[in-house]
């Protein structure tokens, strides 16, 4: 036998010994305790800080028979109709040992009575400290007189990556505290929510009705989001849930803990425009990205930083800006008092601009509620200021009187007036201040011709 043949046979024998089929491998039962992977240690740390939120409000019964005096007389019912108690159920997260709880506005909206139940079955009354409708976040405080409560620390939601494992904790369908797990499906979902700041964490962790306001935590047990809503055709979880990032939550909580009644955020003083495919082509962009400056208000931080209409903002403090929603979120979560460095493109050139992080200027609002028998009866109005325009997401260049609230069942409500409507003129009289509107409403004309500005659209309404 030749030397070459012997070598071939030897190599074949070695391969036959080392490459064995998988079905020939040894099988055995794991020793108890040998393999035990579990999220239990994380859940044990964070679950005590997640609470159930019970909100109740008394509303007037909507049955039209209650408005019929003959019906009320026949059945011995008092005037004014009946009332009923509406209850809502959600979740919340204790974020401070003094009993500060963050939840969603839509969980406690209009509530006359709010109670929270802890994981250990203790129940407490809670008061509303701050409500921020722009982010759909509300801060409550337990009425307990100084007890120390378990709480969650904030994580950095900007550090999340698609694929990170997360846990969702809440009270789905009122069955009691429930934990689900999944991954981060996306980190900057826009145009999907009910808040002004369209910038959500998407997860496939099961979220159902009742989970709103609950915690989304990372593997370090840090709070990285407040569960907000789901996309579903059935009403139950279909693996598409959204959470408000913790960096936005932190801003709202900080304002509440420092005694603020509203959340003060930086004011840019410029209106942004989405970059469409056509705009991207005109700017020689590879893809539609960034936030386009549409106009700049005089004496605003944007103007003082040198921004001009037509500038394309592509980053803020080194973080990429993909669209207008991303810029609004990034800018709104910056702390007041400092500066932010904006990366911009102007005429095809890369530039930077440093903008001051300042609050919008305040002006006398002169809030009044119209009580006369007029189309504005029951409407609460105020003079429009830069700060109020920023809060209501109205173009900062708009002037006039804005509707803040409308009483349910009032003339203004029945005629369709809404919060955020800017009243420009009434019967060809220009409305500059709330007192102008009050005088016109008191004049009792034979007819009404009202021009309002609703989200940039001018609407004319005629009433007799």
Count of beta carbons in the 10 Å neighbourhood of residue 156: 13
* Whether residue 140 is found in the same domain as residue 224: yes
* Whether residue 137 is found in the same domain as residue 77: yes
* Whether residue 88 is found in the same domain as residue 150: yes
Q: Domain holding 417: CATH number?
A: 2.30.42.10
Q: Quote the domain boundaries for residue 318.
A: 270-356
* Whether residue 215 is found in the same domain as residue 274: no
pLDDT at residue 409 in the model = 87
212 carries an active-site annotation = yes
List, for the chain, all residue ranges whose pLDDT scores fall below the cut of 70.
1-25, 59-86, 145, 191-196, 233-236
* Whether residue 150 is found in the same domain as residue 218: yes
pLDDT at residue 301 in the model = 95
Domain C-terminal end among 313, 336, 356: 356
Predicted TM-score of the model (pTM): 0.78
Q: Which of 67, 106, 144, 359 is catalytic?
A: 106
pLDDT at residue 17 in the model = 44
* Whether residue 50 is found in the same domain as residue 164: yes
Q: Which of 88, 91, 135, 136 is catalytic?
A: 136
Domain C-terminal end among 329, 356, 383: 356
pLDDT at residue 406 in the model = 92
pLDDT at residue 83 in the model = 61
Q: Which of 135, 212, 237, 255 is catalytic?
A: 212
pLDDT at residue 82 in the model = 55
Q: Is residue 18 part of a domain?
A: no
């Amino acid at each position: 036998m030749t030397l070459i043949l012997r070598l071939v046979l030897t190599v074949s024998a070695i391969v036959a010994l080392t490459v064995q089929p998988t079905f020939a491998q040894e099988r055995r039962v794991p020793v108890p305790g040998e393999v035990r992977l579990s999220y239990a240690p994380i859940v044990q740390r964070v679950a005590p800080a997640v609470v159930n939120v019970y909100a109740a409000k008394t509303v007037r019964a909507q049955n039209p028979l209650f408005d019929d005096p003959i019906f009320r007389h026949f059945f011995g019912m008092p005037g004014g109709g009946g009332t009923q108690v509406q209850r809502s159920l959600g979740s919340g997260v204790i974020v401070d040992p003094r009993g500060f709880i963050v939840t969603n506005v839509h969980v406690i909206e209009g509530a006359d009575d709010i109670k929270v139940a802890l994981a250990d079955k203790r129940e407490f009354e809670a008061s509303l400290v701050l409500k921020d409708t722009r982010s759909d976040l509300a801060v409550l405080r337990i009425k307990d007189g100084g007890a120390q409560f378990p709480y969650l620390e904030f994580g950095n939601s900007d550090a999340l990556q698609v694929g990170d494992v997360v846990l969702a904790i809440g009270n789905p369908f009122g069955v009691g505290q429930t934990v689900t797990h999944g991954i981060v499906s996306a980190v900057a979902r826009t145009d999907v929510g009910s808040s002004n700041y369209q910038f959500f964490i998407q997860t496939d962790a099961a979220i159902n009705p009742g989970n709103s306001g609950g915690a989304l935590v990372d593997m370090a047990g840090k709070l990285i989001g407040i569960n907000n809503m789901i996309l579903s055709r059935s009403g139950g979880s279909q693996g598409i849930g959204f959470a408000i990032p913790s960096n936005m939550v932190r801003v709202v909580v900080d304002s509440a803990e420092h005694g603020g009644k509203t959340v003060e955020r930086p004011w840019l003083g410029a209106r942004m425009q989405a970059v469409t495919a056509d705009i991207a082509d005109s700017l020689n962009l590879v893809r539609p990205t960034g936030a386009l400056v549409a106009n700049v208000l005089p004496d605003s931080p944007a103007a003082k930083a040198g921004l001009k209409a037509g500038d394309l903002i592509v980053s803020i403090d080194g973080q990429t800006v993909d669209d207008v929603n991303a810029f609004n979120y990034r800018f709104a979560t910056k702390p007041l008092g400092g500066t932010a460095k904006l990366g911009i493109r102007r005429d095809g050139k890369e530039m930077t601009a440093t903008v001051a992080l300042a609050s919008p200027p305040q002006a006398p609002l002169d809030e009044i509620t119209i009580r006369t028998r007029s189309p504005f009866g029951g409407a609460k109005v105020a003079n429009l200021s830069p700060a109020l325009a920023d809060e209501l997401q109205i173009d900062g260049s708009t002037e006039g009187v804005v509707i803040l609230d409308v009483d349910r069942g009032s003339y203004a409500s029945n005629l369709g007036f809404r919060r955020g409507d800017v009243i420009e003129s009434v019967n060809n009289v220009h409305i500059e201040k709330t007192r102008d509107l009050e005088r016109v409403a008191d004049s009792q004309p034979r007819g009404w011709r009202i021009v309002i500005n609703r989200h940039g659209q001018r609407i004319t309404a005629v009433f007799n």
